[in-house]
């Protein structure tokens, strides 16, 4: 009987594991294919370095992009590992590119596609779904991403304060991996 106990336990474990293994295979979906603009953004996955001027003169910057959620969201980390680190998550909302920016200003503006062409993608403050009062609260209001080529982009972020454009910051980035 003592020799049969380990075999019996193994048989029970295998019979219990079977449905879990079969169920896990059912959740393997086809690769996510989003809007043309989201598919363009997905190509940014990797690390980028460059320069920006945030009011203190030209500084070196790093930006990292990685896909998550089965390829349906692109996480952008600005200034990773620094005290100024910020995260933006790009995704499709009802078939249209959207983004939430988790900002150093301690707010989370949501942006949606304003326009796009072969060289640019422009996102602007979404009228619906934001808990920010754009007439009163300082926030990032828009971002324009210009694709120079596969390894060079420029981001121009626009800051709003008291409902008015207060300039912003431009990042000039080169892919490093």
Query: pLDDT: is 26 or 50 the higher one?
Result: 50
- The answer to the question of residue 5 being in a domain is no
Q: Is residue 98 part of a domain?
A: yes
Q: Could you tell me if residue 101 is inside a domain?
A: yes
Cβ atoms of residues 47 and 79 within 8 Å: no
Residue 31 included in any domain: no
CATH code, domain with 102: 2.40.128.20
Any domain includes 2: no
In this structure, is residue 95 part of a structural domain? Answer: yes
Query: 160, 34, 157: which is closest to 98 by C-alpha?
Result: 34
Query: pLDDT tens across 116-163, in order?
Result: 999 999 999 998 888 999 999 999 999 999 999 999 999 999 999 999
| Strand 96-102 with 86-93, pairing | antiparallel
Instruction: Give CA–CA dist 126/114, Å, rounded.
Output: 9
User: Taking a C-beta distance cutoff of 8 angstroms, is the pair 49, 176 a contact?
Assistant: yes
Q: How confident is the model at residue 1 (pLDDT cuts 50, 70, 90)?
A: low
The pLDDT > 70 percentage for the chain reads 83
Tell me how long the chain is: 177
How many domains are contained in the chain?
1
**More confident position, 147 or 5:** 147
Alpha-helical segments (H) within 27-98: 36-42
The answer to whether position 6 is within a domain reads no
Residue 51: partners with Cβ closer than 8 Å, 6 or more residues away: 58, 59, 60, 61, 171, 172
In this structure, is residue 135 part of a structural domain? yes
Range of the domain at 128: 36-175
- Does the pTM exceed 0.85? no
């Amino acid at each position: 009987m003592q020799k049969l106990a380990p075999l019996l336990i193994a048989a029970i474990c295998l019979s219990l594991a079977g449905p879990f293994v079969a169920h896990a295979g059912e959740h393997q979906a086809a690769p996510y294919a989003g809007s043309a603009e989201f598919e363009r953004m997905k190509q940014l996955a990797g690390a980028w370095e460059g320069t920006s001027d945030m009011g203190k003169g030209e500084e070196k910057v790093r930006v990292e992009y990685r896909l998550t959620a089965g390829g349906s969201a692109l996480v952008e980390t600005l200034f990773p590992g620094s005290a100024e680190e910020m995260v933006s998550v790009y995704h499709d909302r009802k078939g249209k590119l959207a983004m939430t920016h988790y900002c150093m200003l301690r707010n989370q503006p949501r942006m949606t596609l304003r326009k796009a062409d072969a060289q640019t993608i422009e996102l602007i403050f979404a009228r619906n779904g934001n808990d920010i009062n754009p007439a009163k609260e300082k926030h990032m209001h828009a971002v324009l991403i210009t694709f120079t080529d596969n390894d060079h982009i420029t981001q121009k972020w626009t800051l709003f304060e008291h409902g008015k454009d207060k300039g912003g910051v431009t990042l000039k980035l080169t892919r490093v991996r």
